[in-house]
Structure formats: C-alpha cells, structure tokens
Structure 1
Amino acid sequence: MNSLIDDLYNIHEGDTCIIVANGPSLNAIPNSLLNKFTSFGCNRIWERDGFYPNYYVAVDRWVPRENEEEFARLESTVLLPEGFEWDAEYYFRHDYHPMWVMEKNLYHGYLREKGIRWIGVPHAMLQIAFFMGFDRFLCVGLDNTNTGKHFYEKEPVHREVDPELWDYGFAILRDCFIPRLILNISEETAVEALPRADWRNFV
C-alpha cells in the first residue's frame, strides 16, 4: 500500500537538492557531486554507474513499459502520476492544463488535489522538490537540445524534445520559485531561462 504524497510536504525544508536530467553532459559530472546532495533522477538514470538517486520520477508510461526489469529493480523512492499501473511509493496528480505559475504557498494535499503541470520530467521533478521544501535546486544533465541524445550510448527509441517549449517551462518555474533558486550547473546546455553556475563550485 503506497503512502499519501502529503507526507512529503516540507520534509526537506531549507535544503539543497540536485535534479539529474539525462543529457549527454551528465557524463562530465562526477558521482561525488551527484551523491553529495539529496537527488532526483528520472527515466533511464539506472544507466549511470555508481549513482542511485534518492527519489525517482517518471511521467511517461513508456519508461516503465519499455524497461520493466530495470524499473522493478529501482532502490529509490519512486513517484509516479496517478493512474499509472506500476507500483510506486507515492503518486501525484497530473494537471493537464498548459504550464503556468504555480502557487508559492503549498500545503500538504497540493500534489494530490491540485497537482502539477509539466512539459518534460525535469519540470515535474523541480515542482515535487519545491513541494518537499528544498530551497536551492541544482540541475545537471540539462542539455535541452533536440538531438534526442542522452548520457548513455544505447538509444532504444529516438525521442526529441522542443527546446523552446522546455525553456518556457523552466522560465515559468524560475519565476514562481522566487526567492528559492534554481541553478543550471550542467557542463553544456542550451537552456536560456535558468541562471548558470559552474558545477565545480559545488563538489
């Protein structure tokens, strides 16, 4: 029986987290940094040797469907949208409207009652982390290109993203998170909406 996601409200209040996307630039980031902070991973992050995120998020059904064995072996705390037929510790509601400014003053039932909107899984990870009370969000592997490439070599299916639309989503979150800070510390990135910092300053 899964627990209510309400239980995660503000449990990391004031802390720093690391949001791990799967772009090719993730290969430049050492595990010492990934393991230093409470971490959120997504999709096929299990391809990364020596790193196991504290929290794992998927928002597309193809992820568990196409990777059943790997998904079943996850040791992370798993969070999935309501209605997914796969097991998770927590479920959150998907608000299917276009992304817009989220409330600053959340409450215990927010992710279950109002839910969140996203364009890609990094947007969802950021909002879940915000709900948990984190104060600073360090993003790595956030290349945001339309090449369909990831940090791992094997590409079972070629999937591309719309960089401008994704950037719009990051701009929305950047503004509604204020005064909390989202930093893109990826080695390489096409994201223009988020302030940049050198990952070496956080090791």
Structure 2
Amino acid sequence: MGPVPQTAHTFDWPDRLVIGTVGRPGARTFYLQARAGARLLSVALEKEQSAALAEKIDELLDELMAADGNRFSVPDEAPVELVDDDALDQPVEEQFRVGIMGLGWDPSTAQLVIEAVPAQPVDPETLEPVGPEPEEVLVVRIPVGAARAFAQRTREIVDAGRPLCPRCGEPMDPEGHVCGLPDGPQ
C-alpha cells in the first residue's frame, strides 16, 4: 500500500463506534464515527461500504467462533448491553471520505481492527490512483462483543433506507416511483 500515512487517527477500545446517517432516505450520507472521551472523529462512506463492513465483521466473528472451540468467547448475537441505537454524536464533521477499508484480527488483544483510508482520485483510463498517497488513516480496535453489536446496528441503518418496490426491487422515493416494469406503480 506504499508509505505509512503521516497521520493515524487511532482509537483503541473506543467509548463508541457506530455507523449512522445524516439526511433523509434517498439522500443519506453515511458516517463511521468513533469517540474516545472528548475525541470525536467522523468519516464519510458509501452505503455499500457500510453493508460490506458489517457482513465481513460477522463473517470474521463466525470464523473465530468456530475455530479453536471459540477461545475468544465470540458471541453469536450482539450482547444486549452493547447495542447502541442512539443518533450520531454532534457535530458531525467529515474528516475524510473513505476510499479503502480493511478489516483484521489481533489475537494478542482479541480485537477486530478496522482501517479506513481516504479516497484518492483515479485516472479514468487506467483506474490507477493519481496524486500523492493519502496522508491519514483511521484505525479502530474493538473487542468481539462490541464488533457484533456494531455489525448489527450497521445492518439496521443500511436497511432503514427507502422501501423497495415490490415489482422491480428498486428503492422508491417518497415523492413517487417510476417502475421499470410494465404496470408498475407510477
């Protein structure tokens, strides 16, 4: 991935890690937000990145649960006391827009490690990044129970968008929907 970013925003055992949204369904901006004490950091990401992160976290936790007789005590469901349904902390100030996300496991601390690197402009011909390497990265380390709760909340946030058209499967806007299928809602 090249040289190490100059600024690493690191949150070990944060007080809070959530994905939330700003805006109405159909025009929501997704944010990954970490808080430790008075430190608050928000990075913008796509709905698809949010959904993929939740899916990968659950896959990793399921693998750990099945391996070595679950020696890391991975819960199969989000522990009730760790479920966080509150809104994003205010103010939501975008540090950067996420380009690449990484997910890892640190067995020495029994924590999942989430890394988010800013998006870089790409050459439309080669799709290779252009310009300097990103100068910052967000690194968050969370224990398995918090990770399970984070993934559950993220799925709920992603699913709370616009309802899908029962005919064409596309999201419907509150102002109306032009269905791509014959005889669909107009």
TM-score normalised by the shorter chain: which range applies? Answer: under 0.3
* Length-normalised TM-score, structure 1: 0.23
* Higher helix content, 1 or 2: 1
* Length-normalised TM-score, structure 2: 0.24
* Higher strand content, 1 or 2: 2
